[in-house]
Amino acid sequence: MIMAERTYTIDELLHVIEKNYQNPDKELIRRAFDLAEKAHKGEKRLTGDDFVSHPVAVAYTLAEMGIHLNVVAAGLLHDIVEDTDIEIETLQKEFGDDIAALVDSVTKLKQVRLKGEARYVENLRKMFLAMASDVRVVFIKFADRLHNLKTLYAMPRYKQKRTALESLEIFAPIAGRLGMNEMRGELEDASFSYLYPKDFQHVKAILDVKVREKGAYVSRLIEETENMLGETAVKNVQVHGRVKRVYSLYKKLKRYNNDTSKVYDLIAVRIIVEDVEDCYAVLGILHQKWKPVPGRIKDFIAQPKPNGYQSLHTTVFATDGEIVEFQIRTQEMHDVAEYGVAAHWRYKDPSVKTIKNVRWMQELGNIHKELDDRKQFLDQLEIMKIDLFQDRIFVFTPGGDVIDLPEGATPVDFAYAIHTEIGNTCTAARINEMMRNLDTQLRSGDIVEILTDKNRRGPNPDWLKFAKTRHARNKIKAATKHTMRGWITSVMTGRDRAKKHRGK
């Protein structure tokens, strides 16, 4: 179980800002802290700490991510309108429109007075809407939730379970879809420890043993890699070890029937270089030194994941025959891998609010408008969990474009992801140059070609039995409803004609 979270002082916050930012406006942060400290004076958290320790912890997390200082300042002020008598107009006057708007959006996210299932649903709707309008609000919400999870021990058991379940099912997967792997990992591990404490302790014990067993070996391997690369033309190389997270290992062990020998990336070696050419050069050097494991080389630089992740992965038979995974990337790729879309806001102008709005983010915004009825929203949530939050696969068109789909998706989902008309008129699929049925489950790396017939009148309603994505299912339902309505109309028209003919 997670123990008491350490508290941060304003000086520690300013220190991390000095480290992560060039010429930071420390005066802005100091003013935001002073107001937060004054406004929350006398308030205590259930942990016994002064309340101001919470907004400082939130701001610290945001500063570690290197997001623009306006977002860090808003993190310091995020509870101030809801919990004190200070109004949003005061923040506008003192800190400007951008910071005030961020605080206002976070406040609206938290203003849910419902209970039970209705509260859960309303929280999600507000979260989705906030993310579609200004994703920076969600960064603050993630940092807020992470600190609340780290101090969850002070809460009653039922609140621990409710907060942890919501975090594991919704917050962590959204962080993952935004490419924020560091945040996702922290949210998952913190939630896991409260939801399934026995499983958490069991997997953590396995991890601790393996790290102890392999730690010295990996340290020697890192040193050997550094020396080897130091003799080449590749300059300014950083080599680090990376230990797999507890919840990530738990999921992998479940997939492999608890066989740890099949988990090759329990401890991986990460190599950070200056540019893309160096990434491929290092890959070649590693393969000259150690034999690669067949089928374990992944090029996410030439074909990035849809959330922006780029890296070269290779698994090799290293010194003494140990199987080790290497990840090779530039510093910029590393920032995107750790912080995802948040990396686009690192040190940048606060007015830059938009990112490439992929379909799943658009759908989150549309959900709020489409579904006024809470029960309807909850029914749709189960589909959305599959569509948006499950593990993803990355499938290619013959032209090399990457299509991002949930695990278990079929060629029908793929066809609709490309274009509605391709989905409506698809008749067959060629997967890796082999003809396959439309209900075949796709796997990451598959190259899929959809065969269509322009004369086809519409999709087969039976496709609903295996279509996974909400997008595909909605398009199939809409098209078949239209077709059915046309069929019924033609039947009724025929009947009317027959009656008239008999009447003559």
Q: How far is CA 361 from CA 255, 357, 382, 387, 389, in A?
A: 29, 6, 17, 12, 12
pLDDT, residue 358, reads: 46
What letter would DSSP give residue 388? I
pLDDT, residue 93, reads: 94
Residue 138: which residues within 8 A CB-CB, separation 6 or more? 127, 130, 131, 174, 178
pLDDT, residue 390, reads: 57
Q: Both tokens of residue 428?
A: 């067959």
pLDDT, residue 487, reads: 45
The residue whose two tokens read 């220190």 is: 15
- Looking at the chain, the number of H-run helices and the number of E-run strands are 21, 11
298 with 304: CB under 8 angstroms? no
Give the dihedral of Cα atoms 34, 36, 37, 42; nearest 10 deg.
Answer: 150
341 with 179: CB under 8 angstroms? yes
For the chain, domains (ranges, CATH) are 10-194 (1.10.3210.10), 199-343 (3.30.460.10), 390-491 (3.10.20.30)
β-pairing, 323-330 vs 312-317, is antiparallel
What letter would DSSP give residue 4? P
390 with 407: CB under 8 angstroms? yes
Q: Return the bridge partners of 359, or none.
A: none
- Which H or E run contains 448? strand 448-452
Q: How many angstroms separate the CA atoms of 102 and 32, rounded?
A: 14
Q: How many angstroms separate the CA atoms of 37 and 52, rounded?
A: 6
Q: How do the pLDDT tens digits run along the chain, 504 residues long? A: 444 567 899 999 999 999 998 889 999 999 999 999 999 998 888 888 899 999 999 999 999 988 889 999 999 999 998 888 889 999 999 999 999 999 988 887 765 544 555 555 556 666 666 665 677 888 899 999 999 999 999 898 888 998 898 888 778 888 887 778 899 999 999 999 999 999 999 999 999 998 888 888 999 999 999 999 999 989 999 999 988 899 999 988 888 888 887 887 788 899 999 999 999 999 999 999 999 999 889 999 988 887 778 999 999 999 988 899 999 999 989 988 888 777 766 544 444 444 444 455 555 555 545 545 555 555 555 555 545 555 677 788 887 777 878 888 999 999 999 999 999 999 999 998 899 999 999 987 788 999 999 888 889 889 999 998 888 988 888 887 655 454 445 455 555 555 555 555
Annotated catalytic residue within 82, 87, 349, 421: 82
Q: Is 122 a catalytic residue?
A: no
| Count, residues in the chain | 504
Annotated catalytic residue within 25, 37, 83, 449: 83
Q: Is 98 a catalytic residue?
A: no
- Look at the pTM and tell me if it is higher than 0.75: no
Q: How many angstroms separate the CA atoms of 270 and 222, rounded?
A: 9
